[in-house]
Amino acid sequence: MKPHTSTCQTSDIAPSLDKITRISQDIIMLTRQSPAFRYDKANGIISPPLSEIDDMIRLQLMLSAELSRLYAALSRDDQYSMQCTSSHL
């Protein structure tokens, strides 16, 4: 029995993966640069500047949105692939 190879097209996920990689690298770089933390004597805690917190939140929201798009694309491809496979049987 010869294995069935689907001829259905899948979406191109490479741009999404590239964007996820870039955002992840930006998050890593921002985290590494954060020894610029300030010490809050009143509370006895170390905290990053608010601008860094804003940047981190923005990057994490971008990463979350891109992961959601990738998940949706993969889910559509999986459903489409299953439909194509069953129609070729």
pLDDT at 1 over 80: no
pLDDT of residue 75: 86
Whether the Cβ atoms of residue 37 and residue 48 lie closer than 8 Å to each other: yes
pLDDT digits (tens, 9 = 90+) for 47-62: 777 888 899 899 999 9
The alpha helices in the chain, defined as continuous H runs, are 14-32, 50-88
- Inside any domain, residue 37: yes
What range defines the domain where residue 43 resides? Answer: 14-82
84 by DSSP, 3-state: which?
helix
- Inside any domain, residue 69: yes
pTM: 0.61
- Inside any domain, residue 21: yes
pLDDT of residue 86: 56
* CA atoms of 20 and 22, how far apart (whole Å): 6
pLDDT of residue 53: 84
